[in-house]
Amino acid sequence: SDHAPQRHGGARVLVASNRGPVSYTVGENDALEVKRGGGGLVSGLSAIGPETDAVWVCAALSDGDREAVRRTGGALDPEDTGGQRVRMLGIDPDTHAAAYNGIANSVLWFVHHMLYQTPLEPAFGPEFRAQWAAFEAYNQAFAEGLAAEAAHGADVLVQDYHLVLVPGMLRELRPDLRIGHFSHTPWAPADYFRMLPDDVARQVLRGVLGADRAAFLTRRWADAFTACCDDLLGGTGATRIGVHGLGADADFLRERSHREDVDERMASLRGQIGGEDRKVVVRVDRTELSKNIVRGLHAYRLLLTDRPEWRGRVTHVAFAYPSRQDLAVYREYTAEVQRVADTINSEYGTPEWTPVVLHVKDDFARSLAAYRLADVALVNPIRDGMNLVAKEVPVVSDNGCALVLSREAGAYEELGEDALVVNPYDLGATAEALHEALTMPEDERAERTKRLAAAATSLPPAQWFLDQLEALRAI
């Protein structure tokens, strides 16, 4: 894809993901401004650098990123990345858009999170086939980028649904490499996965099975993958299957959440919440269809309707940060979140009380401030690979925080015992769980939070990464 000088070369350990640790925008005077990438994958991989000297291969996602690639040849300045060696691939914008928006986020994400409204969607026609060809080209660009960077016999850890074809393609180019694949999402049940055209479904599975080892966040997702392979290919062949639950990074979170910028945001949030004794229900998400933000708001509304005693005594602090706004369905969902929040506020709000405090501008320090303040955290996804918010809140919380948690989040496997567990489609049950969480005795809440924090941090990101590397090397 580009003929820039290869400043890294000969890497012993490589990771590959669509989104990298940083992203650039072109600011004033053509200066490049750098920002940390978002989402669970980046949080998980951010801790890898110092331990392994790995090279992280990622795609240019924005115009700023492509400009950074043009200026650096793709080997990013370590000053921008916190010392991490990063190789950014300058992939043609149209190819990337078709692969990322068209296939990764509109097809593979939808299949694994079971988001289709099936009477109308999906319908795989000519447009899909063109996008699929772009997806192959985009995966091929990664395979070539990795092949060029890797030393003989190197270990390569390929991340997520964007790059499912890479393991197979890379094996063709470089049979000497040890290749792992890791899925940060759920994996679809076999009956749902079969919605994909047969040839594409097989290509996806064979792509992953090109790896020596395919790993998942929970046993449930690993079993689903195996079931799909059994169904469509008659088995998983020689590829090993592994499970590595990603935990929260306790040291980083505890330090980061006590800096001055977080204190400032706590003060400002307290101002917006008002009333000293008001309870606080917090949620923090990308504005993502699978996060179930709208049903969460409806459940909160039901709490105010059915239990009037909470009016004026609780505030829902909801952060819904922009995500995948190139897709119309995400833009519509974002608008719906805003609409429902406004409805609740006009229905129940008073001059002294705003029932829903909604923020839509990404601000990590403010998220941490909300974690510290929260009496209750609402994590109610329809389906979620893990969900790190559920794991971060108990670590950061100042006074203990009750967790209302969907049984469809991967985190449920580790946190289910001390959370209040809900069916994410059941508004009444979610409203009841919110009530129970709000009325939980303080000592019980503190005890549960302690146990949740312990479970949430039992596999820190650096260890999660090293375990995968070790398991790959042991083959």
Strand order through the sheet with 178-183: 85-89, 55-59, 11-17, 150-159, 178-183, 213-216, 240-243
Nearer to ligand F6P, 316 or 324 (CB): 324
Helix boundaries (H) for 157-240: 166-173, 190-193, 198-209, 219-233
Counting residues that bind ligand F6P (by CB under 6 A) gives 10
Cβ-contact 212, 179 below 8 angstroms: yes
Convert 320-345 to b/e letters by CB count within 10 Å (16 or more is b).
bbebbeebeebeebbeebeebbeebb
19 touches ligand F6P by CB under 6 A: yes
Q: How far is the CB of 176 from ligand F6P (least distance, A)?
A: 28
Q: How far is the CB of 290 from ligand F6P (least distance, A)?
A: 10
Report the site for ligand F6P in 296-355 (rule: CB under 6 A).
Answer: 323-324
90 touches ligand F6P by CB under 6 A: no
CA–CA distance, 42 with 128 (Å, rounded to integer): 28
Nearer to ligand F6P, 96 or 435 (CB): 96
383 touches ligand F6P by CB under 6 A: no
The closest residue (CB) to ligand F6P is 39
Q: How far is the CB of 351 from ligand F6P (least distance, A)?
A: 38
Q: How far is the CB of 184 from ligand F6P (least distance, A)?
A: 4
- Report residue 462 as tokens: 């650096």
Cβ-contact 68, 23 below 8 angstroms: no
Q: How far is the CB of 268 from ligand F6P (least distance, A)?
A: 26
Q: How far is the CB of 366 from ligand F6P (least distance, A)?
A: 19
CA–CA distance, 234 with 199 (Å, rounded to integer): 15
At 86, is the secondary structure helix, strand, or coil? strand
Nearer to ligand F6P, 315 or 323 (CB): 323
> Which part of the chain contacts ligand F6P (CB under 6 A), choosing from 38-46, 132-140, 164-172, 313-321?
38-46
Q: How far is the CB of 253 from ligand F6P (least distance, A)?
A: 17
CA–CA distance, 214 with 187 (Å, rounded to integer): 12
Q: How far is the CB of 312 from ligand F6P (least distance, A)?
A: 36
- Report residue 234 as tokens: 């008659």
Answer for which of 80, 160, 414, 418 binds ligand F6P (CB under 6 A) is: 160
> Which part of the chain contacts ligand F6P (CB under 6 A), choosing from 34-42, 187-195, 251-259, 443-451?
34-42
DSSP helix, strand, coil percent of the chain (3-state; round to 5): 50, 20, 30
Nearer to ligand F6P, 166 or 314 (CB): 166
Q: How far is the CB of 153 from ligand F6P (least distance, A)?
A: 27
40 touches ligand F6P by CB under 6 A: yes
The 10 Å Cβ neighbour count of residue 120 is 7
Angle at 114 between CA 132 and CA 108, to 5 degrees: 20
CA–CA distance, 91 with 472 (Å, rounded to integer): 29
Convert 140-159 to b/e letters by CB count within 10 Å (16 or more is b).
bbbbbbbbebbeeebbbbbb
74 touches ligand F6P by CB under 6 A: no
41 touches ligand F6P by CB under 6 A: yes
> Which part of the chain contacts ligand F6P (CB under 6 A), choosing from 35-43, 215-223, 355-363, 389-397?
35-43
411 touches ligand F6P by CB under 6 A: no
Q: How far is the CB of 3 from ligand F6P (least distance, A)?
A: 27
> Which part of the chain contacts ligand F6P (CB under 6 A), choosing from 39-47, 134-142, 250-258, 290-298?
39-47
Answer for which of 12, 32, 39, 471 binds ligand F6P (CB under 6 A) is: 39
CA–CA distance, 450 with 142 (Å, rounded to integer): 42
- Report residue 344 as tokens: 């609740």
Per CB under 6 A, residues contacting ligand F6P are: 19, 38-41, 160, 184-185, 323-324
